[in-house]
Chains A and B, each alone.
Chain A
Amino acid sequence: MIATVHECAIDIGGMPILLRTDSSDFVRLLQDRYGSFINATGPRPVFELEVELLSLDSIKDPDQDVQVWRESGRWLMERGDFRAEWETERRRGWVRQTANPYSIDCVLRILHSLILAPEGGFLVHAASAVKNGRAFLFAGVSGAGKTTISRLAPSDVAVLTDEISYVRSGPHGYEAFGTPFAGELARIGANIRAQLEAVYLLVQGQENKIEPVSEIDALQAFLRNVLFFTHDSELVERVFLNAFDFVSGVPVYRLTFVPDAKVWELIA
């Protein structure tokens, strides 16, 4: 039987992953979903993922929570709507899912968190934006105001994401990258990167103010917002030590704000 293979590179955080599938419709769906994060012209990605599309009736338990574990040097990932495997050394893996963007989105988040950990990076529950060439993170759980602060951003501010931020250690400190992982804003972020200047822990209040945070409080708050998909002890230790280095090197503040665009005057 002759089959055509279609490829599509999704470049998030400068870590392009080549997706391979036999469905051109699915590639079009990915192109719609990931927009400017589709990298058609860059160098060939070193990470590769085979996507095998399943029929809807092959999904046994769509409500099953995501589970990630390590077995014989491979990472295994499973949720009600997909099953995937990733070999860190070979930088390749596979996913079996139905033709929908949500499953691959979850797999990509997990893969990037696994790829980033040894590099000193994270995916963080945080909005992020670039102002005057410098990046700022606004961390907080659901309801803290990530989407609100993104929505209030003035026109000269580029929003990197209103939901999941991408942080990597670079040659001159930490950098924040745009991501296609959107929250209530329902808009993919700007596909740009910038040196990370500061982290703000979001609190909605009666006035706009910025307060310093102790290193231990910063570490606790930051770790609460780092995306963890697994209880693998080696990975947990790596992420913990990364977070420790991160809060030692990047200023962390508490930002109390009212939902008003004036809050952006404080961000500098």
Chain B
Amino acid sequence: MNATYIARGTKLAGRKLKNQMVIMTARDSVLSVLNEVGTLIWDAADGATPLEAIVERKVCAGYDVDRTEALKDAEEFVQDLASDGILIVSDQPIVSSPNKASEAARGEHS
């Protein structure tokens, strides 16, 4: 099975609020709120780390979940976000410079 790589989409704005990533796409001005686990995956979406490794390190290490189930959920989650233009999903490492949204995401509000 091929590895899945994820990177943050372009043309979107995002900020973190109380451990939840809030993202708005420029295409349709739709607002999406990622829960805590979704936000962990978003934070780790560097285009270079396979999704499986992200789930292992960020999700399974911090939550009492079945590894296979967690990976399946994560795959559905990233496909959903990809269809909204929030994530880029590929079976190859994704080489791109960090977009403005990911820079904005570093400014966490509590």
Contact = CB atoms under 8 A, between A and B. Distances in A.
Given A216-B20, A236-B13, A237-B101, A223 B31 contact: yes
B61 interface: no
Contact of A240 (B17, B20, B24, B33): B24
Interface string A214-225: 011001100100
Given A236-B13, A237-B13, A237-B100, A215 B26 contact: no
Interface in A74-115: none
A251 to B, nearest CB: 16
A232 interface: yes
A244 B110 CA distance: 12
B26 A231 contact: yes
Nearest to B100: A237
A220 B33 contact: yes
Contacts of A237: 12-13, 24, 26, 100-101, 104
A111 B40 CA distance: 39
B109 A236 contact: no
A8 to B, nearest CB: 33
Contacts of B26: 231-233, 236-237
B29 interface: yes
Interface of B: 10-13, 15, 17-18, 20, 22, 24-29, 31, 33, 100-101, 104, 109
Given A220-B31, A223-B29, A237-B12, 12 more contacts: A215-B17, A215-B18, A216-B18, A216-B20, A216-B22, A231-B28, A231-B29, A236-B24, A236-B25, A237-B101, A240-B13, A241-B104
5 contacts: A215-B18, A233-B11, A236-B25, A240-B15, A241-B104
